[in-house]
């Protein structure tokens, strides 16, 4: 809530920095086919601050620079479990990340297209036309969000989220799925159709917005096949058999 975007002040500074754009470089979990069985991938990264996810739950949105973007692809529908663990930091005086994540159907722009960021011309034009308070950025944790590059906009569609902790740390916005334990770890399982997906990971400490130090994290994506019809039928038959023996 302290970092409202300004096309005059921030846009020239951030446009020259590739790190300020939404990118999936070195953060692609890969392509998975849940029908082939369980498989997983673990990636490590850093994120600036411990508040980016929580800050994007309110009406002035949030700054995507305070989250880290990942991607994955499902070639068939299935269950996906995502876990995020905050790790010890290079500076031991910086508190460990309390993570929150949101999964979105679709990808932001990828090279060779111009990458998206909050202070790109199309983003600023779009955000300035929205009702309500001035926006801190384009990112939204709980719902779909739209962001752009110089000329074009793209919308990512929210497929679910989980946040570390409770309202005491991530704030009073409605609809937050908190895990109830403020312990630097969060996990969630989702059933998703085939397609490309983005994951945005950030901190859930809404009150720490004066601290933008980098935090380390490890995240693991595991795909789990949907139980087959034959398996479900077999389990149902077994349950019926057990009931009959008990009678």
Query: How many beta carbons lie within 10 A of that of residue 166, not counting itself?
Result: 14
pLDDT 10s digits, 129-160: 999 999 999 999 999 999 999 999 999 999 99
Q: How many domains does the chain have?
A: 1
Q: Which of 157, 41, 176, 43 is nearest to 100 (CA)?
A: 176
Residue in the structure block whose two tokens are 């996990």 = 187
Query: How many beta carbons lie within 10 A of that of residue 71, not counting itself?
Result: 19
- Segment (H or E) for 128: helix 121-128
- Segment (H or E) for 157: strand 153-163
**Which CATH number belongs to the domain containing residue 232 in this structure?**
2.60.120.380
Residue 166 placed within a domain: yes
Class of residue 126 by CB neighbours under 10 A (exposed 0-12, middle 13-18, buried 19+):
middle
Domain that holds residue 47: 11-246
Residue 192 placed within a domain: yes
| Cα–Cα distance for residue pair 232/247, rounded to 1 Å | 23
Instruction: Output the six-digit token pair for 218.
Output: 């490890």
Dihedrals phi, psi of 162, to nearest 5 degrees: -150, 145
| Cα–Cα distance for residue pair 100/94, rounded to 1 Å | 18
Contact between 145 and 61 (Cβ < 8 Å): yes
pLDDT 10s digits, 19-42: 479 999 999 999 999 999 999 999
Per-residue pLDDT in tens (0 to 9) along the chain, 247 residues: 444 443 333 333 333 333 479 999 999 999 999 999 999 999 999 999 999 999 999 999 999 999 999 999 999 999 999 999 999 999 999 999 999 999 999 999 999 999 999 999 999 999 999 999 999 999 999 999 999 999 999 999 999 999 999 999 999 999 999 999 999 999 999 999 999 999 999 999 999 999 999 999 999 999 998 775 434 444 445 444 444 444 4
Residue 124 placed within a domain: yes
- Reduced DSSP (H G I as helix, E B as strand, rest coil) percent helix, strand, coil of the chain, to 5: 20, 35, 45
Residue 3 placed within a domain: no
Residue 31 placed within a domain: yes
Residue 2 placed within a domain: no
Residue 227 placed within a domain: yes
């Amino acid at each position: 809530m302290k970092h409202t975007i300004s096309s005059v002040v921030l846009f020239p500074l951030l446009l020259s920095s590739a790190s300020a754009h939404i990118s999936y470089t070195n953060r692609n979990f890969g392509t998975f086919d849940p029908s082939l069985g369980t498989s997983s991938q673990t990636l490590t990264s850093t994120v600036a601050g411990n508040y980016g996810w929580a800050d994007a739950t309110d009406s002035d949105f949030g700054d995507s620079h305070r989250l880290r973007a990942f991607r994955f692809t499902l070639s068939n529908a299935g269950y996906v479990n995502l876990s995020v663990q905050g790790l010890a930091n290079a500076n031991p005086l910086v508190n460990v990340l309390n993570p929150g994540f949101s999964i979105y159907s679709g990808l932001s722009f990828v090279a060779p297209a111009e990458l998206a960021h909050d202070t790109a011309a199309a983003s600023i034009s779009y955000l300035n036309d929205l009702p309500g308070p001035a926006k801190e950025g384009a990112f939204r944790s709980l719902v779909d969000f739209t962001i752009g590059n110089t000329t074009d906009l793209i919308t990512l569609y929210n497929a679910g989220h989980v946040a570390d902790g409770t309202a005491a740390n991530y704030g009073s916005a409605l609809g937050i799925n908190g895990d109830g334990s403020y312990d630097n770890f969060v996990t969630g399982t989702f059933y998703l159709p085939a397609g490309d997906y983005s994951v945005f990971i950030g901190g859930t400490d809404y009150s720490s917005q004066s601290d933008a130090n980098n935090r380390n994290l490890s995240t693991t994506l595991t795909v789990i096949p949907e139980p087959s019809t034959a398996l479900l039928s077999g389990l149902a038959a077994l349950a019926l058999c057990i009931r009959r023996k008990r009678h």
